[in-house]
Amino acid sequence: MQASQGTSPPNATGPRPPEQAAAIDLIAAVRAYLHYLASTGLDALPSTAIVPRPGAAAPATIKGPPEPTEKPRERRPGPLPPAAAAAPVEPARTDLFVDPGLSEARTLEELRDAIGDCQRCRLAPGRTHLVFGVGNPHAELMFVGEGPGRDEDLKGEPFVGRAGQLLTEIITKGMKMRREDVYIANVVKCRPPENRNPEPDEIAACQPFLRRQIEIVGPKAIVALGTFAAQTLLAVRTPIFRLRGHWHDFHGVKLMPTLHPAYLLRNPADKKLVWADIKMVLAELGITV
């Protein structure tokens, strides 16, 4: 386990008064939120309201998934209106709030070093390992999940539990690729306690890492695994059953949302939907199986 570091350490003369501790927590949350706004390409903070420039993601979209229920949150769809592609997310135009070490990292190793023994959010004290990512650093295909679970936290590698085994089967048996041919990462790098959903400030604190990871790997395509990853990356709240099966744009990279393997463990009949999505990915990569 990492050494615990609260957000409100005692000062030299004793514990901080609760109001001061609350203010420090608030500042940390605002700072993380500003990181997020900067990553959406926000140009300026108007005096009366925060209005992202046209095409940028709306801040409300990172308020987390619609229902705080048991994961995964994929819901069987009712009759669907015609699927609408998510609004493309434009590239960020400023690094104002992003650690210079992150934007300067040229390799995954440098990025990992820049992240260091991360204490940027509340997830740090509870983790065993920061789960950075695994796979081919120049992969054409990247999978992005939600965040580490217990097995991943213990091993320090994404998707190694039961859902991970299913993902590995999709890659090896379905796509006829090796797990080490692709790159696998998560939206948040540290396990949320009791596998709860990551909170907006935790996502905001971690988002620059994933953004830079994607830039460094430079995949041709990203598969977003499940509601949370798809909605976070695309900055939309569209249900996964409307997002999946269609290509979306993530800063110029093609992104295919699909159902999370953990959902498939409970709903194996929906594997055919994932296979349909994966076939589109294979076609995009020019791979025949």
Please tell me whether residue 65 binds ligand URA under the rule CB under 6 A. no
What does the CA dihedral 178, 133, 254, 215 come to, rounded to 10 degrees? -120
Q: Is the Cβ–Cβ distance between 201 and 120 less than 8 Å?
A: no
Q: How far is CA 232 from CA 104, 178, 190, in A?
A: 24, 27, 16
Binding range to ligand URA, per CB under 6 A, among 52-60, 90-98, 161-169, 175-183 = 161-169
- Applying CB under 6 A, among 32, 42, 115, 163 the residue interacting with ligand URA is 163
Q: Is the Cβ–Cβ distance between 216 and 107 less than 8 Å?
A: yes
Binding range to ligand URA, per CB under 6 A, among 148-156, 213-221, 251-259, 264-272 = 148-156
Please tell me whether residue 145 binds ligand URA under the rule CB under 6 A. yes
Task: Tell me the per-residue interface mask from 238 to 267 with ligand URA, x by CB under 6 A, - otherwise.
Answer: ------------------------x-----
Nearer to ligand URA, 98 or 188 (CB): 188
Please tell me whether residue 159 binds ligand URA under the rule CB under 6 A. yes
Nearer to ligand URA, 135 or 158 (CB): 158
Binding range to ligand URA, per CB under 6 A, among 57-65, 107-115, 147-155, 239-247 = 147-155
Sheet with 183-186, edge to edge strand ranges: 134-135, 183-186, 141-145, 221-225, 253-258, 248-250
Task: Tell me the per-residue interface mask from 191 to 230 with ligand URA, x by CB under 6 A, - otherwise.
Answer: ----------------------------------------
One-letter identity of residue 92: A
| Residues whose CB is less than 8 angstroms from the CB of residue 95 and which lie 6 or more positions away in sequence, other chains included | 38, 103
Using CA atoms, how far apart are residues 277 and 142, in angstroms rounded to an integer? Answer: 14
- Applying CB under 6 A, among 59, 65, 135, 148 the residue interacting with ligand URA is 148
Q: What residues make contact with ligand URA under the rule CB under 6 A?
A: 145-149, 152, 158-159, 161, 163-164, 186, 262
